[in-house]
Structure 1
Amino acid sequence: MLKRIAPIANRLRSLAPRRQAQAPKSPRVRRLSVPAALVAEDRLNIPVNERALEECEADLIRERGRFLVRQERWGDLAHAMRQAEAQRDSTQGGLPSVDLLAFGARADVVESVEQALTSESADDENLLLDGVMGFEAALQDHQGDPMIALVVALTHIDLGWAWRGQGWPEATPPRHERRANAHFDRARTLLSRQCGATLQSPALLAAGCAARAGGSDGALAVADEYETLIDLAPENPRHMRALGNHMLPRWFGSYGALELEARRTAVRTQFMWGAGGYAWVYFDAIVLDAGACARVDVPFFLDGLRDILRARPDQEMVNLLTAFCCVALPGGAGGNDPGRDNRARIAAAADWLIRDHLTEIHPLIWAHASDRFVNNLHVRSSRQFASRGRADALRCLSALFADEIRQGQRVTFTPDGLRLEAL
């Protein structure tokens, strides 16, 4: 098998043999640090969590998946993925370990193709296909193991998006769209041979939903598949967010279908999220689509935000919801915005989120929010990306507390809550 992926490995600096000889070490967790350059002449003080435990934990699991594939230990990878899913292992922030293992396993191949498509190697057929064909051979060697099939299918989905880019099919060059569709078709074929519902596998079901991006299914079929997935893994809000995105008119649904599925999801997940299921389904949809924002039930959505925090009061979640209100949602506004009033009413929730719940900044969450949570975003420098997120967060906080700062007060965030002090 090693010969099958050697052309890919030889093109990646990170595959040096001395790095393959041992399992990855756990990254160091950087503790909270106060920003070196404080806003408003030292009148705004908030700890900045440069490297949250959640991010370190996720990196470690991803690197485990990458390591096992580099060592040709496909059986060990499949076993680790099955065990992680059976036990519903996840990071502190709720990222399923099976998804992270699969992400790391395919990272080298996907990164190589993405690099080729942005360089002079875009016509090198060997470079574009050798890696994924090696994965296909590994699947044959392991008699169609469901977890290996999942990795191969997800690789094809990622490569489909690499060919399509961030545009829509009609805006994609014909050759690129043909390649994208071929990868999406292959992913659907692989996943059709595995029954995620029968295997009780949220990962397989989620991959099946993601593979629909290359198809033309109706709203009902898509919604039914998401319903099965969400009912199997209601603790994972990413599935509800993906459902909302796919219910938009630009994909498979309509504004009426989006509203219906949001309410149905809220009822089915009420035991865990309260009204939060409604907010999760609309979460990305109202950022991406002004029409959806114009139609969302604002009081229901805001109740959902409060219930989400009751279920998950950790700072990762507080930062996600706050960055959504401060950065992602306003950033989705256009020149002629039919959702302007609803957007403003929801964005105003940032006030109580910050004053009542925020105790530290997580820069990467804010940076992703400023890009409207795009999943296939290429980050060239994680340090610069985090720095941008930190700057966005501090600007939002400075604007919120502008009156207090002008009145000569110092705004300090502590683990016990917000403190305002006269200078």
Structure 2
Amino acid sequence: MTITDVLPAMRSFSPSAFAARFSARRSESAPAPTAAPAAVRPESEPRKAEPRAPRKVEPLRPRIEIPVRDPSPAHKIAEGYRDRGRFLARQEEWETLGREICAADRDRLLTKGLRSVAALLAEGARSDAVEAGRAAVQKGEANAARAILTALELNMEEIPDCPATAYVVAMAHIDLARAWAGASRAADLSPPRFMSFKEHMGLAAELADRFDPFETQSPLWAEVRCRVLDIDPRPSQRVCDDYEDLIDLEPGNPDHLRALGRDLLPRRFGNRETLEREARRAAMRTEDVWGVGGYSWVYMGAIEKDPDALRGLDADLFAEGLHDILSRHPGQDMANRLAAFTGMTASSVSAPGTIQARISDCFNWIAQDHLHELHPAVWALAPAPSREERVEIETCDLVKRGRTRAISALAEHFAPLLDGGRRLVFTPQGLQMPRLD
């Protein structure tokens, strides 16, 4: 039995109506058992243990059945590029690394999960230095953190004009600047932490001044310019133009659109009106790639950081954008990403007709029509509501955390059907809802 057979109008179903319908049917067919009266014994008669006949307990069938894919193809490919960058850096093959990063940047190579291949190679290349630097930051050792990146910069001596290796160093400085800031805004940092934050950001900005993103045709350097806006004296006057350059250079990378949404929040460099205007402009500039999906990507980035961004959202345009995204990228990586966002990141208890309810409706059709398998890493790493800081998760916990989050979101959304005696079975043909045996 398919969902079409059970729910001819699922997208507009009433949870309360289904709950009442299935609960009533269950109560008619299976009346509640009554307790047997206890035997009365004389007080003088000792109680004897009565043997109980062994009872066979049937194994419980899962109420939600969905195949788990770990690692997902997109996650595995991304890790492969990170490992490649880390290997070349450890072997000190910086010229080879520089050529591979530059080629991937020039050709705008993206993984199956729409991650920049050049950025992933660079992330792996600096990972050892950044890990050691973060350990120094945790101890408050500014000199040690600085020395670690100075050692990394020595790799540029033989190839000082290579934009790829310079990018590795610039992003390492930005990573450590973020480590000094933590979850706080730069303005709220203590003087010592702010000085370290500013120093690392300043060194990254100096490198960015050496490599013009349009002369080098490099989205990587356009990204660096957006990342160092924190130390610009007038970031609100630059943020829209800098992101326009970045998105125009690499419109197919949704990470840039999401980053724009984050940086246009009021606590960053924008406000609600600017966010709405730039989300619509981004949708127009990327229409050939995303339809109106650019609008949705920008707001997803904003909402992941601040749920209050929902207040300015055009819910109908947002939903249309999700349809456009999935029509262009119908794979399971994208289905999981959008399901995790609509079912968990932006979820909340809401009354009918609210923006939250509209997003919940989007989770409904994404789960029904597009979600066939579970990618735990996507759910495990998705921002949770009202949590701004990135939670560091051990790799071995990704599957457990991601599966728990996904099953919880599905169980909450489809609770009326589960309570009515149905199972959710996700298949490549769509969501099926057979009765429990």
| Coarse TM-score class (shorter-chain normalised) | 0.7 to 0.9
- Is residue 349 from structure 1 mapped to residue 367 from structure 2 by the alignment? no
Q: What whole-Å deviation, never above 9, does each CA across 1:350-396 have from its counterpart, x for those lacking one?
A: 11110111101111111222446989735241222431121010111
Q: Which residue of 2 aligns with 1:225?
A: 242
What is residue 331 of structure 2 aligned with on the other side?
Answer: 314
Q: Is the 8 A contact 2:290 2:325 kept in 1?
A: yes
1:52 aligns with one of 69, 72, 83: 72
Tell me, in whole angstroms, the C-alpha distance in 1 between the residues paired with 2:158 and 2:337.
Answer: 42
Match of 1:12 in 2: none
1:303 to partner: Cα distance: 0.8
- Residue 410 of structure 1: CA displacement? 2.6
Unaligned residue ranges in structure 2 (runs of 5+)? 1-58
Looking at structure 2, the residues matched to 375 and 242 of structure 1 have their Cα atoms a distance apart, in angstroms, of: 14
The residue aligned with 1:123 is 141
SS at structure 2 position matched to 1:360: coil
Query: CA shift at 1:48, angstroms?
Result: 1.0
The one-letter code matched in structure 2 to 1:44 is I
Change over 3 Å in CA distance of 1:77–1:297 after alignment to 2: same
Q: Secondary structure at the match of 2:433?
A: strand
Question: Mapping of 1:388-407 within 5 angstroms?
Answer: 388-407=401-420
- Once residues 56 and 137 of structure 1 are traced to their aligned partners in structure 2, the CA distance between those partners, rounded to angstroms, is 31
Asked if structure 2 preserves the Cα contact closer than 8 Å seen for 1:379 and 1:385, the reply is no
Letter in 1 for 2:171: L
Q: Is the 8 A contact 1:159 1:183 kept in 2?
A: yes
Matches within 5 A, 1:26-105: 41-105=61-125
Structure 1 pair 307–40 and aligned structure 2 pair: CA distance change class (3 A): farther
Aligned to 1:24: none
What's the counterpart of residue 416 of structure 1?
A: 429
Cα distance change of structure 1 residues 400 and 289 upon mapping to structure 2, 3 Å threshold: closer
Give the Å deviation of 1:341. 3.0
State the match for 1:10 in structure 2. Answer: none
Q: Which one-letter code corresponds to 1:130 in the other structure? A: A
The answer to whether the Cα contact below 8 Å between 2:379 and 2:405 also exists between their aligned partners in 1 is: yes
Q: Alpha-carbon deviation of 1:130?
A: 2.4
Which of 389, 392, 402 aligns to 1:379? It is 392
Aligned pair partner of 1:360 in 348, 370, 373:
373
3-state secondary structure, aligned to 1:412: strand
User: What's the offset of the Cα at 1:288?
Assistant: 2.7
Match of 1:156 in 2: 173
Structure 1 gaps, min length 5: 1-38
Q: Which has the higher contact order (CA 8 A, sep 6+)?
A: 2
Post-superposition offset of 1:80 = 0.9
* Pair 137,216 (structure 1): closer, same or farther in 2 beyond 3 Å: same
Partner of 1:9: none
Residue in 2 aligned with 1:197? 214
For these two proteins, the number of residue pairs brought into alignment is: 376
Is this contact kept in 2: 1:329–1:343, CA < 8 A? yes
Report the Cα offset of residue 40 of structure 1.
Answer: 7.7
Q: TM-score, normalised by structure 1?
A: 0.84
CA contact (8 A) 1:180 1:214 kept: no
The one-letter code matched in structure 1 to 2:220 is A
Match of 1:324?
Answer: 341
Candidates 223, 237, 243, aligned match of 1:206: 223
Name the amino acid aligned to 1:180.
F
Change (3 A) 1:373 1:149: farther
| C-alpha deviation, 1:67, in angstroms | 1.2
Whole-angstrom CA distance in 2 between matches of 1:225 and 1:124: 30
Whole-Å Cα distance in 2 between the matches of residues 390 and 417 of structure 1? 19
Greater shift after overlay, 203-212 or 371-380? Answer: 371-380
1: CA distance, partners of 2:301 / 2:243? 16
Moved more, 367-376 or 268-277: 367-376
Does the 8 A contact of 2:307 with 2:346 survive in 1? no
Residue identity over aligned pairs, in percent, reads: 36
Q: Is the CA contact 1:217–1:252 (under 8 Å) kept in the aligned structure 2?
A: no
Distance 1:412 1:317 in 2: 20
Structure 1 residues 109-148: aligned runs within 5 Å? 109-119=129-139, 122-123=140-141, 125=143, 127-148=144-165
Q: Distance in 1 between matches of 2:149 and 2:344?
A: 37
Partner AA of 2:83 in structure 1: E
The AA in structure 2 aligned to 1:173 is S
Structure 1 contact 368–374 (Cα < 8 Å) conserved: no
Tell me the equivalent position of 2:27: none
Match of 1:248 in 2: 265
Q: Residue 128 of structure 2 aligns with which residue? A: 108
The verdict on how the C-alpha distance between 1:114 and 1:85 changes in structure 2, with shifts beyond 3 A counting, is: same
- Deviations for 1:260-280, whole angstroms, at most 9, x for unmatched residues? 111111111111111111111
* Aligned residues of 1:266 and 1:278 also touching (Cα < 8 A): yes
User: Given that residues 275 and 304 in structure 1 are in contact (C-alpha distance below 8 angstroms), is that contact kept between their aligned partners in structure 2?
Assistant: yes
Residues 131-150 of structure 1 deviation map (CA, whole Å, 9 limit, x = unaligned): 21022222233123111111
Preserved CA contact (<8 Å) 1:367 1:386: yes
